[in-house]
Amino acid sequence: MSNQAPHPALLIPGPIEFDDAVLQSMSHYSESHVSAPFVNTFGETLTMLRKLFQTSDPASQPFVISGSGTLGWDQVAANLAEPGDDVLVLHTGYFADSFADCFETYRVKATQLKAPIGDRPQLAEIEKALKEKDYKLITVTHTDTSTGVLSELKDLSELVHRVSPDTLLIVDGVCSVGCEEIRFDDWKIDCVITASQKAIGCPAGLSIVMASGRAIERFQARKTPPTSYFGSWKNWLPIMKNYEAKKPSYFATPAPQLIHALHTSLTQILSRPLEERFRIHREASQKVKKAVTDLGLKQLASKPENQANGMTAIYLPEGLSPPEILPTLLKKGVVFAGGLHKEIAGKYIRFGHMGVSVTDPARGDIDRALEYLKEGLAEVKKV
């Protein structure tokens, strides 16, 4: 049983519920960020991230910097692109718009390749776009939190390397790392950005990035300085290398308690085979999606191959809006999220099923949430 104060189960697409041991790590006593014990913890955390991303290439470089997942966008735009460069942003929802906006802030020219709501750009469309212009980067949101659409990475990477081999493949994995398979080395991905508070299962506040050796080389060959100070890899690269080598180093003060929590979470994740973790998330996702279908509801991502395993975006019955159902669910003991896609925000809700709520069946979070959803829909229909 959890030692946490009684509270509604948080089943939004992040932040998620946290394991007791992870939260306990947040109460670690204060310590110097350059002390040997903390440097050892940070170094072990960086090494564990290599295992989570499935990279054994010593040229790959993990970064853990205080900030939200959004800081990952800034790191990519400021370090891997230069003003005037063209980048191709594959659009499956709200977060592609935001990533494109981030690029434009750094005076990088972003072209979006959009798909209908609930779908993803097809490989033939992507190939055509790559042949029309020389793109420095191509970005893809692995799971778009606004739509629940899952993008396929392996085939996309093969296409990019075949058609435009100099284009770096950038993956926004904020809502996928930890619940969707990512084979960083095998799939020849150049950069994945993520955050601590979703499937990794650590409180919010850490921007986590894995960059390939090729991405680091591209950064080091820049013609212009990085266009960010705090997010500059010129400042952070030596720090991360030193920390992983268990050497104290300083550029900006990290968040020691969050690093301890991330260390605990990664230790838990890696205590079992990653294949087992991904299977458990797939099975939970299938259970949720079957229950949604049995209730007569539809998903934004209607095609099975487009459906994420860590969340489900659910169209509400005609005439029902999120403010009419979410308070009822809250009273029952579960928190879902409202819609986020600006074109249809009032028509759907989002159910997050990742991390400890899925991997610890004794919690019963998913079963109760499905029961409450069924009951809640029946109640609001009667009103």
Topology classification of domain 9-17+273-382: Aspartate Aminotransferase, domain 1 (3.90.1150)
User: Any residues with CB less than 8 A from the CB of 174 and at least 6 apart, and which?
Assistant: 14, 69, 72, 95, 145, 193, 194, 195, 198
Task: Give the integer Cα–Cα distance in Å for 274 and 260.
Answer: 21
How far, in whole angstroms, is CA 268 from its chain's centroid?
Answer: 18
What pLDDT was estimated at residue 1?
A: 65
pLDDT exceeds cutoff 90 at 361: no
User: Any residues with CB less than 8 A from the CB of 294 and at least 6 apart, and which?
Assistant: none
pLDDT exceeds cutoff 90 at 30: yes
pLDDT category at 381 given cuts 50, 70, 90 is confident
Helix 123-132, helix 154-163: angle, nearest 10 = 30
pLDDT category at 382 given cuts 50, 70, 90 is low
pLDDT exceeds cutoff 90 at 320: yes
Mean pLDDT estimate for the chain: 97
What pLDDT was estimated at residue 2?
A: 80
What digits encode the pLDDT tens for the residues 196-210? 999 999 999 999 999
Q: State in words which class domain 20-270 has.
A: alpha beta
What digits encode the pLDDT tens for the residues 72-107? 999 999 999 999 999 999 999 999 999 999 999 999
Q: How many CB atoms lie within 10 A of CB 297?
A: 18
What pLDDT was estimated at residue 199?
A: 98
pLDDT exceeds cutoff 90 at 3: no
Query: Which residue ranges make up each domain of the chain?
Result: 9-17+273-382, 20-270
In this structure, the strands spanning 168-172 and 109-114 are unpaired
Mean pLDDT, to the nearest integer, of 4-21? 97
Asked whether the CA dihedral 216, 221, 226, 227 is positive or negative, the reply is negative
pLDDT exceeds cutoff 70 at 357: yes
pLDDT exceeds cutoff 70 at 383: no
Mean pLDDT, to the nearest integer, of 169-173? 98
Q: How many CB atoms lie within 10 A of CB 131?
A: 10
Q: What percent of the chain has pLDDT over 70?
A: 99
222 is in an annotated binding site: no
What pLDDT was estimated at residue 178?
A: 98
Matching fold, domains 9-17+273-382 and 20-270:
no
What digits encode the pLDDT tens for the residues 236-290? 999 999 999 999 999 999 999 999 999 999 999 999 999 999 999 999 999 999 9
The pTM of the full predicted model, rounded to 2 decimals, is 0.97
What count of Cα atoms within 13 Å lies in the side-chain half-sphere of residue 331?
10
Contact 173, 194 (CB under 8 A): yes
